[in-house]
Amino acid sequence: MPKINSYVDISTIDKEAKRDFIDRHSPFVIVEDTPVKGQKLRVKVRVGQEYCHPDDFDHYIAWVQLWDGDTFLAQANFVPGVQGNQCSQAEVDFYIVPTKKKLKLQAMSYCTKHGLWQGPEVELEVQEAEAGVGA
């Protein structure tokens, strides 16, 4: 396996350059709504939280993947330039329909210069749909 770089809490890191390096490569999973069984849920994957990443031809985020535990859900592939060749945060919202009681969402991303990264796992309880409600 290629080396998997992992997100670490950057508030524990002194050097600004290192905080920037870690943050701008880490694919964060962001879920704003409450997951409900059988109902569509938006799951954002964004590479970087406080810092931005280049979108240069020889240095860009080539793809991100979304996983639920050991289950692969979806992948987005990019070409350089989609972010206007400016410093930005690669971002994509996937939509999934939960069917189990728990979600363990995690994203992977690949930078063409700095390799493979995993973001923090986000564990979420899935609510039962109320009677008469649902997708």
Q: Which residues bind a second copy (CB under 8 A)?
A: 1-4, 6, 38, 40, 42, 55-58, 62-63, 67, 69-86, 88-99, 106, 108, 110, 112, 115-116, 118, 135
Minimum gap (Å) between residue 88 Cβ and a second copy: 6
Write out the two tokens for 107. Answer: 């994203």
> What is d(CA 22, CA 6) in angstroms, rounded to the nearest whole number?
8
Please spell the DSSP secondary structure of 89-111, one letter per residue: --EEEEEE---SSEEEEEEEEEE
Least distance (Å) between residue 114 CB and a second copy: 9
d(CA 135, CA 87): 38
Least distance between a second copy and beta carbon 16 (Å): 21
Dihedral angle computed from the Cα positions of residues 65, 117, 83 and 105, in that order, rounded to the nearest 10 degrees: 40
Of 114, 134, 117, the residue nearest 126 (C-alpha): 134
Cβ distance to a second copy smaller for residue 14 or 42: 42
14 vs 58 by CB, closer to a second copy: 58
Provide, rounded to whole angstroms, the least separation between the CB of residue 129 and a second copy. 11
10 or 90: CB nearest a second copy: 90
